[in-house]
Amino acid sequence: MDNISNFIELNKTNKIWAIGSIHSNLSSFNSIKKFILKNFDIDDKLIFLGNIIGLGDNSKETLSSVIDLRFNLMSKFNLKPESIIFLRGAQEEMFSKLLQLQLAPNPTEIVQWMFDHGVNKTIESYGFSEHEVKNIASSGTINISKWTANLNKAVQLTPGHTQYFLNLKHAAYSHTKKILFVNRGVDITRPLSAQNDCFWWGFQNFSKLQEPYKTFSRIVRGYESEHLNKSEILNQKVVCTLFKQPLSNKNILCGIFGENGEILDLFENN
């Protein structure tokens, strides 16, 4: 993995596999994992569209399973690191901020807001309680620093996890500049190089985008807060959403794409 750039270009690509938000649904992901291991080809690329962790009970275990898939594919096909890409989602963004909670100007409010959005499940998977963190957040910078050091150590002790959080990308795109992959959205008024955090927080009315964004005729994203069925996803001209509400359905929606934006297949866990 490398963090030279927040963006990555996909070259020499056969098919591009993209996995929508997993949200710690370990059994659902393992079903997808088996399918990918069986059907992935040497010139394919694989993109995780963010939100691997959070909300569910198995954040740490799910991330370990994802890293194991990466290892197996790289070993089997002798892949370069840029063949398997991880994008930053809202859950990864919040957890990364939590790892530096001592720097927050209002840690108590930040922790409560994050926990309201599912980050408490991630810290619990690393062995920390929600109650403990809420108490620490109001106890001063020194105590918060000690706690974040322990949380960072717990992440470091799980193989591959620290590297994962340090090497998340903001977006990926094909060398043709026809298909763009993001977690939730882009600010269509700005060039890709001048985006803010709407990659994972979203942009107003992005779901209704009907015209290409710059050269990108297809934008694939991994999360949407609205309810969409498969026919609605297929009928959207530009935006392809690999996520279906409600969160309780535990389904993971995935897609296979061509480098010019073609939808080759949409599938989900059995």
Which of 141-155, 177-191, 236-250 comes out lowest in average pLDDT?
A: 236-250
State how far the Cα of 196 lies from the Cα of 175, in Å rounded to an integer: 23
pLDDT at 1: 36
* Whole-Å CA distances, 23 to 3, 123, 209, 249: 23, 13, 26, 11
- Going through the chain in order, the beta strands assigned E by DSSP cover 7-10, 16-19, 45-48, 84-86, 171-174, 179-182, 218-221, 239-241, 253-257, 263-268
The total number of residues written for the chain in this structure:
270
| Distance, first Cα to last Cα, the chain | 30
pLDDT at 3: 42
- The pairs formed by 237-244 with CB atoms below 8 angstroms and a separation of 24 or more are 237/210, 238/209, 238/210, 238/211, 238/212, 238/213, 239/206, 239/207, 239/209, 241/20, 241/207, 242/18, 242/19, 242/20, 242/21, 242/49, 242/266, 243/20, 243/21
**47 φψ region: left (φ > 0), alpha (ψ -120 to 50), beta (else):** beta
Burial class (CB in 10 A: 0-12, 13-18, 19+), 48: buried
Query: pLDDT tens, 41-78?
Result: 999 999 999 999 999 999 999 999 999 999 999 999 99
Question: Do the strands 239-241 and 253-257 form a parallel or antiparallel pair, or are they unpaired?
Answer: unpaired
What is the model's pTM?
0.94
pLDDT at 2: 41
Q: Is the omega angle on the peptide bond into residue 246 within 30 degrees of 0, that is, cis? A: yes
Name the pLDDT band for 4 (thresholds 50, 70, 90).
Answer: low
**Edge-first strand listing for the sheet containing 263-268:** 84-86, 45-48, 16-19, 253-257, 263-268
Quick check: 105 pLDDT over 80?
Answer: yes
Instruction: State the CB neighbour count (10 A cutoff) for residue 4.
Output: 7
**127 φψ region: left (φ > 0), alpha (ψ -120 to 50), beta (else):** left
Residue spans per domain, the chain: 7-89+168-268, 92-161
Q: What is the CATH number of domain 7-89+168-268?
A: 3.60.21.10
